[in-house]
Amino acid sequence: MNTSFKLPGTVEWKNGELYFLDQTLLPLEIISEKQENAEQVWDSIKRLKVRGAPAIGIAGAYGLAVGMRNKLRLSADGFLKELARCAEYLNSSRPTAVNLSWALKRIVGRVSESGLDSAEAMYRLLVTEAELIHAEDRAICEGIGRHGAGLIKEEAGVLTHCNAGSLATSGIGTATAPMYTAHAEGRRFRVFSDETRPLLQGARLTSWELQRAGLDVTLICDNMAASVMAKGWINLVIVGTDRVTANGDVANKIGTLGVAVMAKHFGIPFYVACPSSTVDLATACGADIEIEERDAEEVTSFGERRTAPENIKVCNPAFDVTPNELITGIITEKGIIKAPYGETLVRLFGK
């Protein structure tokens, strides 16, 4: 699908140089920052300069290229050892989103099994594989859009949480892909974007990109979602995900579980948009997912102003887990799958 709008590239690889759109500055400033080394890539992922499960997978893949480009004088064995070390280091930046570890393992495995006998050849293969991951993500986003657009009916109200849009991927997003596709097909509908405390990804990112694309979007505080549902304004919920386990449990931005519970109460279909790179069949269920705990300052301050007492205890998990029984369906690039998820996920993504 060709879209009529242009958003800045979340991750860009230009002539062997890596750039991230600094999302911590949005929507007030649009600045792409050159990534000079693996340490800077790690920091950019950790600090959410680049964020969103598919985007950080791509960022990690190119981060390996940045980290290994000065290792070309090593022996083949030395290069492989440094590659494994660099991948392990980059993977430590954010543990919950499976795309990062998936992309890093894919590249390390591809290079290790290539049989190449020089660092230069291995590096060229590394870059080629990263570029392939990048291109695949664009196609996956398009597929999710095609399969999910039919869920959005004329004059519908669609609620989303956090940002699973263009800024979280290299294409038209995951949760937003059906919205962009339906919009391009001429359907009229209204999107409600949760602000998504504490880092306001829904306010700063989702509402910004949807507005730029010409969609009818309304920003709401997180605690307005139940009231908006009660008014009958919401007909459909579509959210993204950072990991889908073998039984269909879903880890996504903190607050997603609450939205799912409310949707169940009001009888509203709750869909999860999930690229194949986010399916984790090696993890049995949501209880087994490592949930990232972030700095207390994200909760104790609003912008640059402190809003909580000094020395207050803070709980700040970045994600929660929505159990599969609250999920109406999972939108993938291969189609919409329904329960029993343990069977359908294996059938589509088992190999």
Q: How far apart are CA 92 and CA 87, in angstroms?
A: 9
Q: How far apart are CA 96 and CA 103, in angstroms?
A: 14
Helix 76-91 / helix 119-148 crossing angle, nearest 10 deg = 40
Residue 4: is its pLDDT beyond 60?
A: no
Section 169-174 average pLDDT: 96
Q: Is 94 annotated as ligand-binding?
A: yes
Residue 10: is its pLDDT beyond 90?
A: yes
Q: Which residues of 41-153 form beta strands (DSSP E)?
A: none
Q: What is the percentage of the chain residues whose pLDDT exceeds 70? A: 97
Q: How far apart are CA 27 and CA 22, in angstroms?
A: 10
- The per-residue pLDDT for range 263-286, each reduced to its tens digit, is 999 999 999 999 999 999 999 999
- Pairing between strand 236-239 and 270-273? parallel
**What's the fold here for domain 151-349?**
Rossmann fold (3.40.50)
- The per-residue pLDDT for range 109-150, each reduced to its tens digit, is 999 999 999 999 999 999 999 999 999 999 999 999 999 999
Q: How far apart are CA 129 and CA 131, in angstroms?
A: 5
Section 19-48 average pLDDT: 96
- The per-residue pLDDT for range 36-79, each reduced to its tens digit, is 999 999 999 999 999 999 999 999 999 999 999 999 999 999 99
11-142: CATH superfamily: translation initiation factor eif-2b, domain 1 (1.20.120.420)
Tokens (6 digits) for 143: 């597929």
Which of the four pLDDT bands, split at 50, 70 and 90, describes residue 2?
Answer: very low
Q: How far apart are CA 245 and CA 264, in angstroms?
A: 21
pLDDT at 188 (0 to 100): 97
| Beta partners for residue 243, in sequence order | 251
- The per-residue pLDDT for range 183-226, each reduced to its tens digit, is 999 999 999 999 999 999 999 999 999 999 999 999 999 999 99
pLDDT at 351 (0 to 100): 66
Q: Is 53 annotated as ligand-binding?
A: yes
Q: Where in the chain is the domain with CATH 3.40.50.10470?
A: 151-349
Mean pLDDT of the chain: 95
Tokens (6 digits) for 303: 């912008």
Which of the four pLDDT bands, split at 50, 70 and 90, describes residue 348?
Answer: very high
Q: Is 327 helix (H, G, I), strand (E, B) or coil?
A: coil
pLDDT at 303 (0 to 100): 79
Residue 1: is its pLDDT beyond 60?
A: no
Q: Is 211 annotated as ligand-binding?
A: no
| No. of helices (H) and no. of strands (E), the chain | 12, 16
Q: Is 46 annotated as ligand-binding?
A: no
Q: How far is CA 285 from CA 137, 155, 280, 290, 342, in A?
A: 25, 36, 9, 11, 10
Cα 228–231–233 angle (5° rounding)? Answer: 65
Query: What CA dihedral angle connects 106, 111, 114 and 117, to 10 degrees?
Result: -170
Section 289-305 average pLDDT: 93
Q: Where in the chain is the domain with CATH 1.20.120.420?
A: 11-142
Q: How far apart are CA 280 and CA 78, in angstroms?
A: 30
pLDDT at 3 (0 to 100): 44
288 among known catalytic residues: no
- Considering 137, 222, 242, 280, which one is annotated as catalytic? 242
Q: Is 52 annotated as ligand-binding?
A: yes
| Beta partners for residue 236, in sequence order | 158
Query: Does residue 49 contact residue 29 with C-beta atoms inside 8 Å?
Result: no
Which range among 42-51, 234-243, 342-351 shows the weakest confidence by mean pLDDT? Answer: 342-351
Q: Which amino acid is at 132?
A: L
Cα 95–93–47 angle (5° rounding)? Answer: 115
